[in-house]
Amino acid sequence: MTDAQTEALAQVQAITGGEDPDRDRAVLESVNWNVERAVQTIFDQADTQAQPVASSSRSRSPVMSRTFEQMEFEDFPLQGPQARTTGVPSAPLLARLGLGLLSVLTYPLTLSFSLMKNILQYVFRILRIPFPRFGSASISLRPPTAGRPPRPGNPRDAAERWVRELEDETGALSVTRAAVTATTTSRGGKDVGEGSELRHREKSDTKGRLLPDFWLGSYESALKAAQTDAKMLCVVIVSEEHDDTAEFKRNVLTDPDFVRALTDNDFIVWGGDVRDSEAYQTALKLSATAYPFVAFVSLHPRAAPRGSGSASPQLSVISRHSGSPTTSTSAAALHAYITTTLVPRVTPLLNRLRAEIRMRQQERELRAEQDRAFAEAERMDRERMAKRREEELRVRREEEEKQKKEEEKWMREQWREQWRQHAHANLAVEPGPETPGRLRIGARLPNGQRIVRFFKVDETVEALYTWVDTGFLAAPSAHGEPATLPPADYKPEFEFNLASSFPREEVPLVEGKILGEVGALKGGANLVVEMRAGHGNRNHNGGDGGSTDEESSDDEE
């Protein structure tokens, strides 16, 4: 065999006890040397042949078994509750067929006894009094546990049910629940914790009796926690039909020194009854043959292969204890073993592993903090860059908008100049002295220059405004000279108002209105050009659209 096959065979033999090496090798060959599948196959074969026998301690010598066997738990994946019902043996033929006529005749008696037992058990539970057990004196004619399959179900539900029954029988509470109860009682309130059904049960006086904090979950999950957190695991398996079970529960599991040793050393404690599928499977894995059964599991160094460095620790069964609760599984014996042998033996390794775990956790936290800081800095950089891009975009848009407005303004000025040149070149000819009713109108521009022109009385007010607007030209074109035309859709806007100087009377720009209809212009007038708000003064010289102050006014009529 290769080294890998030899190691796989050693792992299977360590888990199954190595009772039949040929069988183990044959099973491994059939599953292509897969340790997990081989172990499951062997356990399934064992399930179909026999169950753990609750042998009486009276027929066995009270010898404490403290064997040391390494177990490769790493090859056991944590399975869900669905896998717990596989490989459960069926009841024998007698159990399946029943007891025939005898069962029918004794049915009323057994029904009455069961009903009375349930009533008494309910009353004792309310009063928090341990319910007495009658051991093998039960009149039930059902086959024993070895003759019927274990109860399937969810491992967590089975663990909670077993702990609940244990509290009912012993009248004790777990260490944590007792502390919560004491705190709640001192505050005068109720425990409203959520989660397990055990947290919702009514609290009452336990007279100081305490139980260890049992793990509420599967055996595999307890193993995983012991390996991950570098803790010791205490496994407790009982058989309800065993005569020593009641004494073990009341005198060992509630012993103050035993409970304190488990609590102070931070044990993970898992327990169950072989009537449940999870505890039954666990009993097979740990080779439990007598009850009560206690096993201690912990991480332990393993021998490294030749030529390689130090091997990582693995979960191993440190010791097994089974037998009478007055000898091998007594509270004193278990307490002495924990304090004098187990804890001194495994604590140095566990402390080192915990320190490594804490160091790795601190490193992970440091890396996580660094990652958060890096992510925060990256986020701030992204925000800063985004703000800078937004600011640059805003400035660019403002510049573009400003430039666009300036271009539009310049274009409008060009169009206005073109329109003025065109309007100046196409002004109507001034009427001569022979024209009756002609009007002499003068206008003073904002720059102080005064322009004068004669109009016919039937010319429009718009013509007057057009003439004044051409006065803003710096270099007016000659009359009749072609000028560049503005766009066809351009409409001039006059930026000024005209009004008589004294008394002041505005000359409104009304479309189609003629000069003769404006009262302020009758007989001629001198007007003032008033720039509208926002346009300011125009510093342009007047054009030649009319006479100036220096011209003779003898034409005035």
Element (H, E) at 294: strand 293-300
Highest average pLDDT, of 86-100, 141-155, 209-223, 481-495, comes from 209-223
Enter the tokens of residue 376: 């925060």
Whether residue 208 contacts residue 173, with contact meaning beta carbons closer than 8 Å, is answered with no
Quick check: is 275 in a domain?
no
Q: Tens of pLDDT along 513-531?
A: 898 888 888 888 899 999 9
User: According to the model, what pLDDT value does residue 296 have?
Assistant: 96
Highest average pLDDT, of 131-135, 181-185, 546-550, comes from 181-185
Whether residue 169 contacts residue 131, with contact meaning beta carbons closer than 8 Å, is answered with yes
Q: Positive or negative, the Cα torsion across 416, 418, 421, 426?
A: negative
Residue identified by tokens 């400003």 is 402
Q: pLDDT over 90 for what percent of the chain? A: 37
Q: Tens of pLDDT along 488-500?
A: 777 888 889 999 8
Whether residue 18 contacts residue 24, with contact meaning beta carbons closer than 8 Å, is answered with yes
CA dihedral 103, 104, 110, 115 (to 10 degrees): 140
Quick check: is 481 in a domain?
yes
**Summary count for the chain: helices (H), strands (E):** 14, 13
Give start and end residues of each alpha helix (H) in 431-505: 461-470
- CATH number, domain with residue 531: 3.10.20.90
User: According to the model, what pLDDT value does residue 389 have?
Assistant: 95
CA dihedral 362, 263, 131, 336 (to 10 degrees): 140
What gap in Å lies between CA 344 and CA 347, rounded to an integer? 6
Q: CA–CA distance from 296 to each of 310, 327, 343, 367 (Å)? A: 24, 17, 11, 36
Lowest mean pLDDT among 70-79, 111-120, 350-359, 533-542: 70-79
User: According to the model, what pLDDT value does residue 24 have?
Assistant: 83
Quick check: is 331 in a domain?
no
User: According to the model, what pLDDT value does residue 175 have?
Assistant: 86
Whether residue 507 contacts residue 461, with contact meaning beta carbons closer than 8 Å, is answered with yes
User: How long, in residues, is the chain?
Assistant: 557
**Of 179 and 540, the one with more pLDDT:** 179
Model confidence at 551, pLDDT cuts 50, 70, 90, reads very low
Model confidence at 210, pLDDT cuts 50, 70, 90, reads very high
Overall number of domains in the chain? 2
Model confidence at 427, pLDDT cuts 50, 70, 90, reads confident
Question: 3-state class of 423 per DSSP?
Answer: helix
Give yes or no for residue 139 having a pLDDT over 60: no
What gap in Å lies between CA 319 and CA 345, rounded to an integer? 12
Q: Tens of pLDDT along 82-125?
A: 333 333 333 333 333 333 455 556 667 766 776 776 677 666 65
Q: Tens of pLDDT along 161-205?
A: 999 999 999 999 988 887 776 665 555 544 444 444 444 444 444
Dihedral pair phi/psi, residue 503, rounded to 5° = -70, 150
Quick check: is 334 in a domain?
no
What gap in Å lies between CA 237 and CA 223, rounded to an integer? 15
Sheet holding 505-507, edge to edge: 505-507, 496-500, 525-531, 439-444, 450-455, 547-548
SS3 annotation, 69-84? EECCHHHCCCCCHHHH
Q: Tens of pLDDT along 237-254?
A: 999 888 889 999 999 999
Element (H, E) at 528: strand 525-531
Quick check: is 180 in a domain?
no
Q: What is the mean pLDDT of the chain?
A: 76
- CATH number, domain with residue 20: 1.10.8
Q: Positive or negative, the Cα torsion across 11, 14, 15, 18?
A: positive
Enter the tokens of residue 126: 């309310």
Lowest mean pLDDT among 33-47, 162-176, 343-357: 33-47
Quick check: is 366 in a domain?
no
Model confidence at 212, pLDDT cuts 50, 70, 90, reads very high
**Of 74 and 13, the one with more pLDDT:** 13
User: According to the model, what pLDDT value does residue 205 have?
Assistant: 44
- Give burial (CB, 10 Å; 0-12/13-18/19+) of 254: buried
Lowest mean pLDDT among 72-76, 446-450, 503-507: 72-76
**Of 492 and 455, the one with more pLDDT:** 455
Q: Give the pTM.
A: 0.48
Lowest mean pLDDT among 86-95, 260-269, 297-306, 465-474: 86-95
Give yes or no for residue 58 having a pLDDT over 70: no
Model confidence at 309, pLDDT cuts 50, 70, 90, reads low
What gap in Å lies between CA 449 and CA 471, rounded to an integer? 9
What gap in Å lies between CA 39 and CA 164, rounded to an integer? 32
Give start and end residues of each alpha helix (H) in 426-553: 461-470
Give yes or no for residue 473 having a pLDDT over 70: yes
What gap in Å lies between CA 211 and CA 213, rounded to an integer? 6
Whether residue 51 contacts residue 280, with contact meaning beta carbons closer than 8 Å, is answered with yes
Quick check: is 509 in a domain?
yes
Q: What is the DSSP string of 308-343?
A: S-PPPPEEEEEEEEES-TTTTT-HHHHHHHIIIIIH
Quick check: is 519 in a domain?
yes
User: According to the model, what pLDDT value does residue 203 have?
Assistant: 43
User: According to the model, what pLDDT value does residue 114 have?
Assistant: 64
Highest average pLDDT, of 177-186, 341-350, 418-427, 466-475, comes from 341-350
Lowest mean pLDDT among 64-68, 261-265, 396-400: 64-68
Nearest CA-CA partner of 111 in 68, 133, 140, 76: 140
Residue 509: how many other CB atoms lie within 10 Å: 15
CA dihedral 484, 487, 488, 494 (to 10 degrees): -90
CA atoms within 13 A on the CB side of 120: 11
Model confidence at 436, pLDDT cuts 50, 70, 90, reads confident
Average pLDDT of span 441-459:
91
Residue 6 is part of which domain span?
Answer: 1-49
